[in-house]
Amino acid sequence: MIEVAVTRLPDNATFEDASLLETLSVVFHACRRGNVQMGQRILVLGEGTIGILCMMTVKAMGAAQVANTDLDSAQLVAKKLGADHTTCVKNLLVNKVRETVIDCLTEPDVTIECTREQSCVEAAIFCIDHDKTYRKNIVPTFQTTVSGEVVVLVGLGKQKVRVSLTEACIREVDIRGVFRYANWYVVTITSRNYCINFRFCYSNALNLIASEKLYLSTLTQAHYE
């Protein structure tokens, strides 16, 4: 471990917080890519660790309304952790899911896709379910997100995903990818630029913890010796 990459924990941060710091740094960068602003309406697809932390982070950043979706009703824990709306989209047609999202948020200003599933990534990009082979229980994100706003793809699935950009172009919806804390991470580990930018995302994630705007201990499932 190189010295400049070592980060000191704030006095009020626990080792439980630290265990999620790398993931929170990814989430912080995703929110930066989405240009999340105070008062916005945010839709988060997926309720894994990334999805839950995205919800908690955008709330800490001042989002007015946040909705989460997931395929498993047993996984809908976001409501307990601060989400304004949660929806189990299993077995729902895309139009019904869209109606549910619109009822909750009107139209989200930013949609953050966190599932890592190819079908969900496709649905986050396709505005309409053109092909019957697509699963029909995912939100058609472009059709839902406000024209001129942003879709952020956090999950990484298959290398190639078939997409149609017509609706995105017509409605000027920006598609923004996220890779870890940014492309900074792929440069040589000994690079000074890597260390500086690596620390930028980590330090901002730590600031969120130190400010007590995020309580990550609620995400801890178990302890091991």
In this predicted model, what pLDDT tens digit does every residue of 11-28 receive, in sequence order?
888 888 888 888 888 898
Which pLDDT does position 58 carry in this prediction? 95
Q: Do 164 and 192 fall within a single domain?
A: no
Q: Looking at residue 138, what DSSP letter applies?
A: S
Q: How many domains does the chain have?
A: 2
Is the residue at 224 inside a domain? no
Q: Do 53 and 72 fall within a single domain?
A: yes
Q: Do 164 and 195 fall within a single domain?
A: no
Domain that holds residue 90: 34-178
**Tokens standing for 20?**
């999620």
Over residues 70-97, the pLDDT tens digits come to 887 756 788 888 899 988 888 776 667 7
Of 22-31, 99-108, 163-172, the one with minimum mean pLDDT is 163-172
**Higher pLDDT pick, 33 / 201:** 33
Mean pLDDT over 191-216 rounds to: 66
Q: What angle do CA 83, 26, 86 make, to 5 degrees?
A: 15
Asked whether the beta carbons of 183 and 33 are under 8 A apart, the reply is: no
Helix %, strand %, coil % of the chain (to 5): 45, 10, 45
Q: Do 76 and 153 fall within a single domain?
A: yes
Q: Do 203 and 171 fall within a single domain?
A: no
| Residue-wise burial string across 32-68, b where 16 or more C-beta atoms lie within 10 A, e elsewhere | bbbebeeebbbbbbbbeebbbbbbbbbbbbebebbbb
